[in-house]
């Protein structure tokens, strides 16, 4: 079945540091890939997405490229801020998933210190 | 312009006392989902409605039920809450069939349930 593996946290960084969160996936079909962000006490917000190989999703300075050859969708940001402290979830929705069901990775907590 | 609304944001109930959580959406999406999330773990899908069709996950306890009276509203009923049901409950929506590859789900802010 489908699965998503992402690096475990917590990841602790200083402000303006470079952030990478690794995400790899296994899927039988042609998945769409997503990064969701969850701030403390809030629901999940869609951060960015990519629907086919070599697509690059970007938003709020974050980027991720859909790499079919390495089955990866790593999240990057060049200069993090304290406000980026959150839990980040990598997820996929397989083309054949009924009702657009999502498969989530375990989440990575990121803490940015001033 | 709230899109997925959950009420209340915080709910306290007593052990064994039925509780209902509500979700509404202004996106006119035909699929609505309920998730349970504990301690910033990945959300766990309980069930979803595809239009009026109810789809239960195999490992969702019978204690959890859902109703969808119309496109905009969906309710989560916990018939006899136990201490282990304390969690964040997230509602989400999506549109099927997919347009332009957009398979994403849109989440509400969640309801934090405490069981005393």
- CA-wise closest residue to B9 among B89, B92, B104: B89
Cα B57 to its chain centre, rounded Å, is 13
CA distance to A88, B86, B103, per residue, from B93 (Å)? 19, 23, 10
Q: Inform me whether the pLDDT recorded for B99 exceeds 70.
A: no
CA angle, B66 then B68 then B71, to 5°: 150
Instruction: Give the model confidence (pLDDT) of B13-51 as tens digits.
Output: 999 999 999 999 999 999 999 999 998 799 999 999 999
Q: Is A109 on the interface with B (CB under 8 A)?
A: yes
Minimum Cα–Cα distance from B99: chain A residue: A51
Which chain B residues contact residue A41 at CB under 8 A?
110, 112
* Token pair recorded at residue B35: 């998730």
Residue with tokens 């790499």: A67
Q: Are A37 and A44 in contact (CB under 8 A)?
A: yes
* pLDDT score recorded for residue B101: 58
Instruction: Verify whether the Cβ–Cβ distance A43 to B108 is below 8 Å.
Output: yes
Distance CA B21, CA B40 (A): 20
The number of helix segments (H) and strand segments (E) in chain B equals 0, 11
Q: Inform me whether the pLDDT recorded for B100 exceeds 80.
A: no
Q: Inform me whether the pLDDT recorded for B109 exceeds 70.
A: yes
Of B40, B55, B104, the CB nearest to A46: B104
For residue B68, the distance in angstroms to the closest alpha carbon of chain A comes to 16
Minimum Cα–Cα distance from B5: chain A residue: A43
Instruction: Give the model confidence (pLDDT) of B54-95 as tens digits.
Output: 999 999 999 999 999 999 999 999 999 999 999 999 999 998
* Token pair recorded at residue B99: 């347009």
Distance CA A85, CA B111 (A): 21
- Bridging pattern class, strands A11-14 and A108-113: parallel
Q: Are A81 and A113 in contact (CB under 8 A)?
A: no
Instruction: Verify whether the Cβ–Cβ distance B40 to A107 is below 8 Å.
Output: yes
Minimum Cα–Cα distance from B3: chain A residue: A45
Low-confidence ranges of chain A (pLDDT < 70): 96-97
Instruction: Verify whether the Cβ–Cβ distance B45 to A45 is below 8 Å.
Output: no
């Amino acid at each position: 079945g489908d699965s998503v593996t992402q690096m475990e946290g917590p990841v602790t960084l200083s402000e303006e540091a470079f952030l990478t969160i690794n995400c790899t996936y296994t899927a039988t079909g042609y998945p769409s890939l997503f990064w969701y962000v969850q701030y403390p006490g809030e629901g999940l917000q869609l951060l960015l997405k990519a629907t086919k190989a070599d697509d690059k999703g970007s938003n709020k300075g974050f980027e991720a490229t859909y790499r079919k050859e390495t089955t990866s969708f790593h999240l990057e940001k060049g200069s993090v801020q304290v406000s980026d402290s959150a839990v980040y979830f990598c997820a996929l929705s397989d083309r054949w998933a009924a009702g657009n069901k999502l498969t989530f990775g375990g989440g990575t907590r990121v803490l940015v210190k001033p | 312009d709230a899109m997925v609304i959950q009420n209340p944001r915080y709910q306290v109930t007593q052990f064994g006392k039925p509780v209902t959580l509500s979700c509404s959406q202004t996106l006119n999406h035909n699929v609505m989902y309920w998730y349970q999330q504990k301690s910033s773990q990945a959300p766990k899908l309980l069930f979803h409605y595809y239009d009026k069709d109810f789809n239960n996950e195999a490992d969702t306890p019978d204690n959890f039920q859902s109703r969808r009276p119309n496109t905009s509203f969906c309710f989560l009923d916990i018939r006899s809450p136990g201490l282990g049901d304390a969690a964040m409950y997230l509602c989400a929506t999506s549109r099927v069939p997919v347009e332009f590859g957009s398979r994403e789900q849109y989440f509400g802010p969640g309801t934090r349930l405490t069981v005393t």
